[in-house]
């Protein structure tokens, strides 16, 4: 039997607010990768020579959004995974079977997202990681969160150590002190980096069908290949999210002084670690090899610390914020995060790719913020209006209907 419509009091308001912040913040991070090739997400040095304002915009994004929004979204995904199962089982249904079916459909959504629109899909990774979390979530809380943190730190430390020789070679080459071996290795890296930039710019200037064919021909297993480097971050963060939900963090059960402590310590630790890294990178104009390692590995701890701080602040603000005009808009955007995430891809690729306006590679990082504001305005503007008439976002409804193996009612029943 299909589930009844979810009542407003069934929802945890802070989850919707946090999800709304995360989906808006994800666009601020992803905009560089929409406006340019994938290499433009690593450094403002490509595809055009940046202005000082472009570097400043990139630096601001690096401090406030990069990695933090991804961590926030991942924590929420883990929490929502458990919440879905608990609510299904409270209605006498098999929550685990439903969730596995749900993750299977998400995996297919992720593949479609990549092949039809954008190389930077995260849904496939979330589906794979979610399946792993399903097998680990029954471990008691203390060993679970301890193991998750050890795996998280160990993965990123190993990646940092593995990257050190290449980052050192890049720095030695900058100083003119590279050995012959280092110079050769770094020159080969730069040649491939710029070739990749040119190759992607050419591909993303193609028409819609030609881009799909290029992906099918050149990188049919891209989703699986790119998921691997992120599993050591994504699975532990999802597990931490499950523990936070079960402990009452999101529902406001934690004492307010604990939440303030998480917020204060998280911001202090995050900024104290991020700002020196930023200063070192900015002084060198964001070199690509070091930036790759910094984004993937060096900043893992500050990303998690600041994501927890953001979450704690929103939980503290939720009782009042949820009743305000802006809070309602933000929560509605969060309730439709799946639709808004994919709609952002469609909008931004239509603006930048060859099958749309063809602005790929022409807008610097400072100018990209105008498109972020456009995306934010649309997400905040339409989500509440849609939910006033319909029970879920259109893609949330489709996902739920596929999971339930039948089309569920989507229109709200009029009070009259």
In degrees and rounded to multiples of 5, residue 143 shows phi and psi of: -65, -30
Domain residue limits at 56: 8-160+203-253+318-404
In whole angstroms, give the CA distance from residue 124 to residue 227: 8
Q: Is residue 209 part of a domain?
A: yes
Beta carbons within 10 angstroms of residue 90's beta carbon: 9
Burial of 367 (0-12, 13-18, 19+ CB in 10 A): middle
In whole angstroms, give the CA distance from residue 392 to residue 288: 41
**Binning pLDDT at 50, 70 and 90, where does residue 1 land?**
very low
**Binning pLDDT at 50, 70 and 90, where does residue 10 land?**
low
In degrees and rounded to multiples of 5, residue 411 shows phi and psi of: -75, 140
Beta carbons within 10 angstroms of residue 387's beta carbon: 18
Count of domains forming the chain: 1
Q: Which residue has the tokens 């998921």?
A: 227
The Cα-based distances of 340 to 7, 355, 416 in angstroms read: 22, 21, 30
Q: Across residues 247-272, what is the average pLDDT?
A: 96
What are 335-389's pLDDT values in tens digits?
999 999 999 999 999 999 999 999 999 999 999 999 999 999 999 999 999 999 9
Q: Is residue 171 part of a domain?
A: no
Q: Across residues 330-338, what is the average pLDDT?
A: 97
Q: Is residue 265 part of a domain?
A: no
Q: Is residue 64 part of a domain?
A: yes
Closest CA to 403 of 124, 9, 85: 85
What are 191-241's pLDDT values in tens digits?
999 999 999 999 999 999 999 999 999 999 999 999 988 999 999 999 999
**Binning pLDDT at 50, 70 and 90, where does residue 414 land?**
low
Q: Is residue 276 part of a domain?
A: no
Please tell me the pTM assigned to this model: 0.94
Q: Is residue 31 part of a domain?
A: yes
Q: Is residue 183 part of a domain?
A: no
- Please enumerate in sequence order all residues whose Cβ is within 8 A of that of 373, keeping only pairs 6 or more positions apart, or say none: none
Q: Is residue 194 part of a domain?
A: no
In degrees and rounded to multiples of 5, residue 147 shows phi and psi of: -65, -40
């Amino acid at each position: 039997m299909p589930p009844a419509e979810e009542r407003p009091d069934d929802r945890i308001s802070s989850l919707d607010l946090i999800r709304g912040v995360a989906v808006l913040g994800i666009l601020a991070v992803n905009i560089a990768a929409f406006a340019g090739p994938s290499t433009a997400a690593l450094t403002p040095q490509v595809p055009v020579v940046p202005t000082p304002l472009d570097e400043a915009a990139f630096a601001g994004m690096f401090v406030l959004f990069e990695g933090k929004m991804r961590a926030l979204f991942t924590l929420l995904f883990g929490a929502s995974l458990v919440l879905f199962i608990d609510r299904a089982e409270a209605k006498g249904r098999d929550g685990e079977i439903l969730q596995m079916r749900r993750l299977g459909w998400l995996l297919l959504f992720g593949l479609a997202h990549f092949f039809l629109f954008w190389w930077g899909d995260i849904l496939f990774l979330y589906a794979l990681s979610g399946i792993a979390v399903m097998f680990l979530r029954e471990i008691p809380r203390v060993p679970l969160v301890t193991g998750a943190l050890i795996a998280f730190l160990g993965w990123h430390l190993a990646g940092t150590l593995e990257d050190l020789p290449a980052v050192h070679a890049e720095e030695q080459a900058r100083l003119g002190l590279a050995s012959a071996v280092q110079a050769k290795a770094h020159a080969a890296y730069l040649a491939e980096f710029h070739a990749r930039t040119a190759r992607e710019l050419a591909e993303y200037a193609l028409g819609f069908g030609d881009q799909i064919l290029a992906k099918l021909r050149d990188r049919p297993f891209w989703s699986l290949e790119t998921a691997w480097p992120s599993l050591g971050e994504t699975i532990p963060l999802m597990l931490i999210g499950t523990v936070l939900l079960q402990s009452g963090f999101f529902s406001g059960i934690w004492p307010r002084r604990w939440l303030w402590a998480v917020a204060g310590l998280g911001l202090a630790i995050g900024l104290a670690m991020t700002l020196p890294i930023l200063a070192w990178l900015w002084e060198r104009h964001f070199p690509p090899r070091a930036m790759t390692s910094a984004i993937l590995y060096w900043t893992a701890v500050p990303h998690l610390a600041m994501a927890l701080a953001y979450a704690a602040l929103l939980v503290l603000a939720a009782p009042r914020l949820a009743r305000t005009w802006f809070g309602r808009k933000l929560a509605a955007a969060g309730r439709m995060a799946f639709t808004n995430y994919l709609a952002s891809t469609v909008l931004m690729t239509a603006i930048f790719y060859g099958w749309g306006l063809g602005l790929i590679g022409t807008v610097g990082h400072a100018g990209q913020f105008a498109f972020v504001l456009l995306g934010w305005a649309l997400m905040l503007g339409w989500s509440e209006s849609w939910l006033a008439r319909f029970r879920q976002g259109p893609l949330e409804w489709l996902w739920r209907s596929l999971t339930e193996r039948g089309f569920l009612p989507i229109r709200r029943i009029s009070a009259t």
